[in-house]
Structures are given as C-alpha cells and as structure tokens.
Chains A and B, each alone.
Chain A
Amino acid sequence: MINYLWLVPALPLAGAAINAIFSRKMPRWLVSVLGVGSVGLSFLVALAEFFTVLGAGAQGVFNVSIYSWIPVGNFKIDVAFLLDPLSALMLLGVTGVGFLIHVYSTGYMAEDESYGRFFTYLNLFVFSMLILVLGSNYLLMYVGWALVGLCSYLLISFWFTRPAAAAAGKKAFITTRIGDFGFGLGVILIFVTFGSLNFADVFARAPQMFQLGAPIITTITLLLFAGAVGKSAQLPLYVWLPDAMEGPTPVSALIHAATMVTAGVYMVARSHVLFSLAPFSSEVVAVIGAVTALFAATIALTQMDLKRVLAYSTISQLGYMFLGVGVAAYGAGIFHLMTHAFFKALLFLAAGSVMHAMNGVIDMRQLGGLRSKMRWTYITFFAAALAISGFPLFSGFFSKDEILAQAFESGHIILWAIGLLTAGLTAFYIFRAFFLTFHTQARWTEDEGRKTESRHSPSSVVGHPSFHPHESPASMTVPLAILAVLAVVAGFVGMPSVMGPNFLEGFFAPVFGEAAAAIPAGTEWMLIGASVAVGLIGIGVAYWFYIASPEIPVNLAAQFKGIYTLLWNKYYVDEFYSAVFVEPGRRLAMFLWQVIDVQVIDGFANGLGRAMASFSGALRGWQTGYARAYALLMLVGTVIVIGWLMLR
C-alpha cells in the first residue's frame, strides 16, 4: 500500500484543481461529488496506510521518496513522505474529520452562491495539511505550513463582503506570519547546524553532535516553537483565532479546531528528538501551554458568542496539548490532539447546526430552549460537552487525564494544578454554553408562518428575534452522529495503566520510544479522582447557575406581562448573580480580554502596521520625481561606496 501513499494528498489536490477551474460551469451536485469524494477516497487510502503501519509493528516507519525536488550539489531535498505511527494517525484525523466536515458542508453551504469556491479552498486546505503532516523534511513541512496559512486566510475571509471577515482574515495572516518567521529562522538554523533538512538525518545527528541542553539546540527549538505559537494560537499570538470565527462554521471546525491549529503540536512532537535535547525549551513549551490553557479558559467564561466560547476553548485545549508535549509526554499530547479533533469539531458543527436553524444567530442571549427543536444537535453537543469536560470514560477524560498525570509525575506540580483548575473551568464554561443554548427558556419567538431561510453570516438581530428553528438536514446530522460516537469512544485506545492496556503508547513506540515507567496505582487513582472531581464540580456549578436557580426568576416572570422582556432582564440578573461568585475571576477575565488582548496585543499588531506604513511614506518622500535630484542622490551613493572601498 505504501506505493499508493501519494494518492492521499494527490486526490484532494485534484479535487481542488478541477473545482477551481470548472466549478462555475458544473452543476452543484458534481462539485459536491468531486469535493467530498476526493477527500473520502483519500480517507480510504489513508485507512489502508494506517493498517499497513499498524501491521508492521515496530518496523512501521516508511520513507517514501516521490521525486527529487531541489538537488543542489551534494545537498538534496526530495518530495518525500514519512509514514510512521505519528503521521499515520494524523492522516486518519485530517482525512477522516475532513471528510465528515466536507459532507456536513454540502448541507451547511447548500445555499451559498460561492459553493464551488468553498470546496476548492477546503480541498486545497486538506491537501496542504496532508503535505504538512506527511513531509519527511523541514522544507516540505514549511511548504505545508505556509499553504495551510494561506487557505486559512482565504476561508476566514470567505464572506468578504463583511468587513469583519476581511479584517479577521488579514489579522490571522499577519499574526501567524510573525510565528512563521520564527519557524523559517529555525529551519535555516537547522540547515546551518546539521547540513540537512531531512528528519531522518537531523534526528540521527542531533544526539551525536550535541549534549543535553546545547545552546544551539535550545535556540532552534525555541524558534520552531515560535512558529507553533503563531500557528496554534498560543500566548501571545493567539489573538487571531477568536476573530477567525468570522469564517463559515465548517471552516472553524476543520481548520480552527481540528487540524490546522494543531499543526504546532504535531511539529513539536515530530521534532521531539530536538526538544528532548533542550530541557529549557521544553519547559517553555509546557509553561506557555499551561498558562495559555488557564488564560483562555477564563476568557471563555464570559463570552456570549457561542462560537467565541468554542474558539477560546480551542486555545485552551491547545494549551493542554503543549503542556503535554512540553513535559515530554508526546504520545499524550498527540492523543489529546486526536480526541480534541473529534469533540471540538463536533462542538463547532453542532454550533453551526444551531446557526443554520436560527438564521445565523449565534449570540447565546438570543438562543435557549433548543433542546426539543433540534434533537440530534442537542444529543451530540451533550456528548461532546461531556467529552471535553473530562467526564469519566468519555474520550477527553482519558487524554486530559494522561497529560495531567504525566505533568504531575514529571514533577511539574504547579503546571498540574493549573491544568486541573483549567479542567474545572472548562467543564463550567462548556456546560454554561450548553445550558444557555439548549435548556433555559427560549429567548426568541416561534414564527410558524415563515420558514427560516438558512443564512449563516451572523445577523445582528436587535431586540427580540423570531424564528422557526428546525433540525438540520441529514447531511449535517449524520456527521454529527459519527463524530459523537468517536468523541465518546475514542479514548479507550489510550487508557491509564490502572484501567487497562494503553494501546496508543505501544503504537507510538517506533516514534517516541518505549513508554516511561507506569505511574504507581495509588497516585494514578488519586489523579483520576481529582480530575473527575473538578470536572463534576464545574458541570454542577454550571447547572446551579443556569438551570437550578433561574427557576425563581422564571416563576416571577410568569406573573408579569411581556415575559420575554423580563426574561431578558432576568438573564442579566442571573449573570450578575453568577458574577457575585466568580467576580474575581470575571474581573480578571475581563481585564485579560479587554486590556491585554484588545489593547496590548492588537495594539502591537496595528502599531507595527502603522510604523511600516509611515516608514514607507517617508521613503516616498525621497522619490521626488525630479531627475536631477535622483542624479544627486546617486552621486551621494557613489561617494559613499567609493569612500568605503578606499577606507577599508
């Protein structure tokens, strides 16, 4: 099967190319067949490749050279793919989740006029991500890295007629480019140091050439991590991700939750040989991961836009993954990457389903009570919420627990405590979103007469909106159901040692080496207990705030006229009520969001742009248009050049 590996990226590329050129002249069903089918076939090939790797066991590392790309002297860079357990799993994730999201998009985007363009970009994205994952050298990885950034930009500003979308796309592009610069420098430095960019060469030479903690390796890894910080939206370059929610929801699910943003984690895991040699860099990775996890989770507490809650949640969960790979638990980090891909994609798609039903409304203040209207969306969102909260035996439980256990075991008690606290906050904010969206009283009016058209660009309905919410078509609910099953069961591949065999650890052995010694059973149970406890507390508090206590104001409200107005007011009371308990946290969250997020970091990005513009303007001043002035300036230049040459 290895000989067919090239098909995995080639199929989506072909889909993108055909749709790019012919989609305007093709019927929609053909566009869908090409767009979805290419990724589906790609998934089937990837599945076969996965089993090839699985069957090969410890020998499951394949280097497949497609052709010689840039040969310069004795230095050669091939278009070559590296298929090992790590990339095989990533392949499955990208093509599998990608396929489901493509299917979902046929329903979600059905009425969009730029249907063909959407699938072109989406297929191009899948191709780029596969190149990033499969590339067997840093240059090819950089190619994928740059291309996914471009696709992300195109898709965020997909609805370009809205200024917010165009601005968000630009912001994402600028911010991630800062990280890319670091990544590019890292690649240059790798080339200078090792004389090669192939993973195999670099990872073989690194331990021979350098001691643990060698400054050059530390520099390389920090530069690479800078790229990861930009791409995976960590502190301080995370600002673009919440804004990226301006894109269509399937895009948020695929690119800004399940795949592209995890590229940084993948890259760190892929470069684990280098990071293992650089304890300082690993520490930086772990600390930034943990701090980002907590920081983003606190912001998620106060957001009212459902997709923004999910976006901050993604940043927070990515922080977990970096915490994992930072404490050298590479397998655990990738494990969480995988389970997160399932449940976060699911959360986003469910949110998209809500938007689909509610005419593009995504503000939770205008939602509520959708439980009975959207059965499938409700159940699947519930499953995903349990998974992300770390509810026992759901997927997030296993992966989050493993990261926290490894952090604890490696002596990072403070980081473990931060992670634990974040787990509690996560459970709270996700259930807050869940209750506000699906439970509580509906804060909209049933409008029977008008069938709600499915628009998704967030419409800012002022006052009290009226809708006719409906369950989404099967093309959207079936992917939801499949992802829900995965979000529930995917965790069993990596059970903690006290509960059963950890299949994933053995699977990753050819990449990350044999697993560390098992954690003592007592400690393990204690850690599991702590995680479960904070998760349950978080869910409980959310229930108390948004379900249990609102009954009193609701009863009161029933006696009054204009019940919806009161409901609206009650909502603010409720918010205030909950705020009394979490006032310090809320204050902090607002401070972090408004001051640091909006002013400092945005200000920096904007300021950089302004500085460049004024620099550019100053340069224009020299371009006077007078030939004699040019001649004089040239003379000055000549004198300087000659003077320098003579004085040396």
Chain B
Amino acid sequence: MPILVPDINLRIIAPALIVTVTAIVVLLGELVTPAERKRWLGYLSIAGLVVAAFAAFSLWGANASGFSGMVVADNFGLFLTLTIALSAALSILLSIPFIHAHEIDQGEYYVLLLASVAGMIVMATATDLIVIFLGLELLSLPLYILAAFQREDTRSLEAGIKYFLLGAFSSAFFLYGIALVFGATGTTNLAKIAASLAQSAGSPMLSIGVGLLMVGFAFKVALVPFHWWTPDVYDGAPTTVTAFMSVAVKAAAFGAFFRTFQFALPALALDWRAVAAVLAVLTMTLGNVAALLQSNVKRMLAYSSIAHAGYILIALVAMSANGLSSALFYLLAYTVTNLGAFGAVIALSDGARERLEIKDFAGAAREHPLVALALTICLLSLAGFPPFAGFVGKFLIFGAAVETGWAWLAVIGVLNSLVSVYFYLRPVVQMYMSEPAEGWSGIRVAPLVALALLIAVISVIALGVFPAPAIALAAGGLIR
C-alpha cells in the first residue's frame, strides 16, 4: 500500500519551529537556572520570539505551501505570525516583573507561553482542518494551565478549570464539525473543500458541519453567545496571562476563521454570512452593554474584548480583500492597544497587590501622570476615538462593510463604539477627576513594564497617525 509522504519543507514552518525550539531550551534551562536568575529565561524567550519574527520577515512574499498543502507561508499568515510574536514579546516583558512579584516565577511559565505561541502560529498558517485543529489545541492546552498558574489563588484555579471544561467542550463540537465537513467533501484541505463545494450542492450534513465549525471558532474568539467563559476566565487568570490571551488567541483564531470561511466555504457564503452578521451584532452590543456596569477593570476589558471580536467579525461578513486587510490591521491595532491598557493596569499595581477595581484608580494621574496618560490613550483607542490606532482600524472595517453593501452593520458598529466610550472613560475619570486613594506613595513602575508600555503607546499613536505602512503591509497580506 503506497503511502503519500508529505513534502517536508522546514523553512515554511521556521517561525513556529524556532518558537518550539526556544520553548524546549527554556524548559531545559529552567533545570539549571538558580531561582534568582529566572528572569533570564524570560529574556531568552523574547530573544527566541525576535528570531522567529525575523524568520517570518524573511519569508515575506514567499507564498510557499508545504507538507502536502497543510501549511502555507503566505503574507496573511506571516502578518498574523508577526502580530502574535509581538503580543507574546510584550506580554513576557510585562510578565517578568509580574510573576516575580507574585512569586510564581518558574521557567514553566515561559515554556507554556511559548508552546501556546507555537500553536497560534501553526493555526494562523494552517490550510488544512486537521492542522487548524492541531494548532487550536496546541494553543489552548498551555493556556488552560497558564490561566490556573497562580496555584495559591482559588480564583486563578477557577479560571483554569472553567476555561478547560468549556474549551474541551467546544473542541468536541469543533471536531465534530470537521468530521462532518470531511464526510461531505471527502477532504480536510481548505483549497480542496472549496473546489469540491464549487461543484456540488450543499447537504444537511454540510450545514451542520459548517455550523459546528463556526461554533468552535466563535468560542475561541469569544462571540456571543459562546462567550460565557471569557469574563470569568479573564477575571481570574493572572493579569499578564489575560493580557496575552485577550490579544494573541484572537489573532490566531481569527486567522483560521477567515481562512476557513472566506476561502474554503465561499460557496455557502449566502448562509453563513447572515449568521455571522447576526453574531457580530449580538457580540458588539452585548459586549459593550455588559461592560457598562463592570466595576472591575479586568472584567470590563474582558467584555470589551468580546465587543472587539464583534467588530472584527464584521470584516469577515464583508468577505472582501479590503475586509481581510482591515481585519489584519485591526488585530494588530487591538494587540498593541489592549496590551498597553493591561500594561498600564499592571504598572499601577502595588507589588503583589493589584489595583483592579475601577475606584482603586482614583487620583492615579497625580501620582503617575505618564502611566495615566498611557492608559487614557489606550482606552480612547479601544473606544475608537481619533486619532489613535483603534479609530483607523474601525474606520477600515466599517469602510469594508460599507463597500460590500453591509452599511447597516457598520451603522450598528458606529453606534456601539459610541456606547463603548462611556465605560472606557470611567477609569479615566477616576484617574483624573478624583482625589487620590490611599497607598499610592512609594510605588515604582518596573522598568520592563515601562518599556512595554512605551512600545505599546508609541505603536498606538503611530498606527493612528501614520497607519499607511501598516495598512500597506496588511493589504499585502491577502491569501495567495
């Protein structure tokens, strides 16, 4: 029985490979690193991510497909790879002082984070449902552990178990969907699925399969009504892990979501676009409205991340080249903005004692004017306020929707971003317009946190004021 041996082209998966190797090196390094030098493992991880990013850069424009068409190094995947690497690097910068302060600075933290990054890169560059599933699980399993990494904290454990149970539950649905699509088309390869569907009509089995695929992706990117885990998990997980999850998972999962639906299932677009449009409306609206009453910043940002998934979904509904590039730009903008916001929250914490209630921020502007300014800029950007990155991102997405005749969806998006201003401004009002709360004196912002915050804020401003290069890069990121 002849077995087809896939063409092994390691260069195509170089970024994921480099991250994996780094993870292994860090894992081994952990054994020989004394407790007070653990931060070097963090620096090593960042170095690995930088090398991986360079590898992704060197592949730019290569458009090479490998492993029997299972993965591809196209600009779309590479753009997402860069976004994921950036988010991981910034998260690690935030993490090094954070996990030290919380006395959980073990090398495993970085190993798990890097393993998750490898899974994300695989997912973003996969062109086969099997590999997408592999990437999905590879990114999820380490995150379940990371969410529960503060073992002494029952909230963190609760986040871990909830995320795990619901994640495994949704994986089963996703897998069932893949199996049904496989049954209906006889293949798991995205390009072949598209070719097969172009010839044959749909079947009930296919519809169920597509629906289950959508549910699987919707769970990962937190679309309403598959978002229930998000607030609880984001709330309980260590803040740095929340920061990382909220941006990087979205980038990877949306990458695969776009690839699967826009390029493997265009034949069924009439059906799923309507569903996606409704999900987008629900997600934006419920995310923003639920955020209005939150008193905890992490929970508020969790609902905010749900709402942002809704905005990005609009780009999928648009199903155009501009929609795709706008989603890429938005993911990048959201990554730096949200990490900036979380970075500022971490910067304002007092060692192991975090300030997570909005009222704790009272008077922060007087004690830490620059951190307060950075948080204000990031929150305004999240609200889509000009001239920051979030504004340009929203403009691109709404523009793509309008172009393709989904103006009503853009209108709901605009309305939502107007509503969102209220809750994003609440911490700002607390920081600038309240008398300082107790205990601000003597808090120093860790240099690494300051560095991450600086990078994030400069990116937020640059992507808002001079977005042209990033837009060009994203526009070059069309799938083949």
Contacts and interface: CB of A to CB of B under 8 A. Distances in A.
| A/B touching: CB–CB < 8 A | yes
Interface of A: 20-21, 24, 67-73, 75, 139, 142-143, 146-147, 150, 154, 157, 160-161, 166, 173-174, 177, 180-181, 184-185, 188-189, 191-192, 612-613, 615-617, 619-620, 622-623, 625, 627, 629-631, 633-634, 636-638, 641-642, 644-646, 648
Contact of A619 (B169, B289, B418): B289
B296 interface: no
11 contacts: A69-B467, A71-B472, A73-B322, A154-B432, A160-B432, A177-B421, A612-B292, A620-B293, A627-B162, A627-B229, A634-B225
A637 B224 CA distance: 9
A278 to B, nearest CB: 20
A24 B369 contact: yes
Given A620-B290, A634-B170, A143 B322 contact: no
A627 B166 CA distance: 7
Nearest to A634: B226
Nearest to B423: A616
B161 interface: yes
Given A620-B293, A645-B210, 12 more contacts: A69-B466, A69-B468, A70-B392, A71-B471, A72-B475, A150-B380, A173-B425, A174-B422, A631-B166, A631-B169, A634-B226, A645-B271
Nearest to A638: B215
B385 A630 contact: no
Contact of B207 (A154, A631, A645): A645
B410 A188 contact: yes
Contacts of B214: 641
B55 to A, nearest CB: 28
Contact of B275 (A72, A142, A615, A641): A641
B362 to A, nearest CB: 11
A70 B467 contact: yes
* Interface range, B side: 35 or more
Contacts of B380: 150
B446 interface: no
Interface of B: 161-162, 165-166, 169-170, 173, 204, 207-208, 210-212, 214-215, 219, 225-226, 228-229, 231-232, 270-272, 274-275, 279, 286, 289-293, 321-322, 325-326, 369-370, 373, 380, 385-387, 391-392, 395-396, 398-399, 402, 407, 410-411, 414-415, 418-419, 421-422, 425, 429, 432-435, 466-468, 471-472, 475
A641 B411 CA distance: 24
Contacts of B208: 642, 645-646
A181 B290 contact: no
Contacts of A160: 429, 432-434
Closest 7 CB pairs of A and B: A160-B433, A630-B228, A642-B211, A143-B386, A637-B225, A616-B293, A645-B207
Contacts of B475: 72-73
A636 B173 CA distance: 13
Contact of A181 (B270, B418, B435): B418
Contact of A191 (B215, B402, B418): B402
A79 to B, nearest CB: 8
Contacts of A648: 270-271, 274
A185 B411 CA distance: 7
Nearest to A77: B395
Residue picked from B173, B215, B229, B398, most chain A C-beta under 10 Å = B215
A634 B219 contact: yes
A613 B432 contact: no
Contacts of B173: 638
Contact of B433 (A166, A181, A644): A166
A146 B425 CA distance: 14
Contacts of A173: 421, 425
Contacts of A620: 290, 293
A69 B466 CA distance: 6
A442 B289 CA distance: 54
A188 B422 CA distance: 22
A105 to B, nearest CB: 19
Contacts of A615: 289
Given A68-B468, A617-B293, A630-B166, A638 B211 contact: yes
Grouping DSSP codes into helix (H, G, I), strand (E, B) and loop, the B interface class, with mixed when no group exceeds half, is helix
A188 B289 contact: no
A492 to B, nearest CB: 39
Contacts, number: 156
A412 to B, nearest CB: 34
B34 to A, nearest CB: 39
A612 B286 CA distance: 11
A636 B225 contact: yes
A80 to B, nearest CB: 13
Contacts of A613: 292-293
Contacts of B414: 181, 184-185, 188
Given A24-B369, A142-B386, A641 B293 contact: no
Contacts of B399: 72, 75, 191
B306 to A, nearest CB: 11
Contact of B468 (A71, A147, A180): A71
A609 to B, nearest CB: 9
A70 B396 contact: yes
A619 B369 contact: no
A642 B226 CA distance: 14
A130 to B, nearest CB: 13
Contacts of A644: 211, 274-275
A634 to B, nearest CB: 5
Given A67-B466, A161-B435, A185-B411, A625 B232 contact: yes
A634 B228 contact: yes
Nearest to A647: B207
B407 A616 contact: no
A620 B299 CA distance: 12
A70 B162 contact: no
Contact of B215 (A157, A188, A617, A637): A637
Contacts of A73: 321-322, 475
A177 B416 CA distance: 12
A593 B476 CA distance: 58
A293 to B, nearest CB: 29
A16 to B, nearest CB: 12
Contacts of B392: 70
Nearest to B467: A70
Contacts of A188: 398, 402, 407, 410-411, 414
A21 B368 CA distance: 11
B169 A634 contact: yes
B210 A192 contact: no
A157 B428 CA distance: 12
A616 B420 CA distance: 12
Contacts of B386: 142-143, 146-147
Contacts of B170: 634
Nearest to B225: A637
A645 B275 contact: yes
Contacts of A185: 411, 414
A619 B228 contact: no
B290 A619 contact: yes
B435 A150 contact: no
Contacts of A189: 407
A630 B398 CA distance: 31
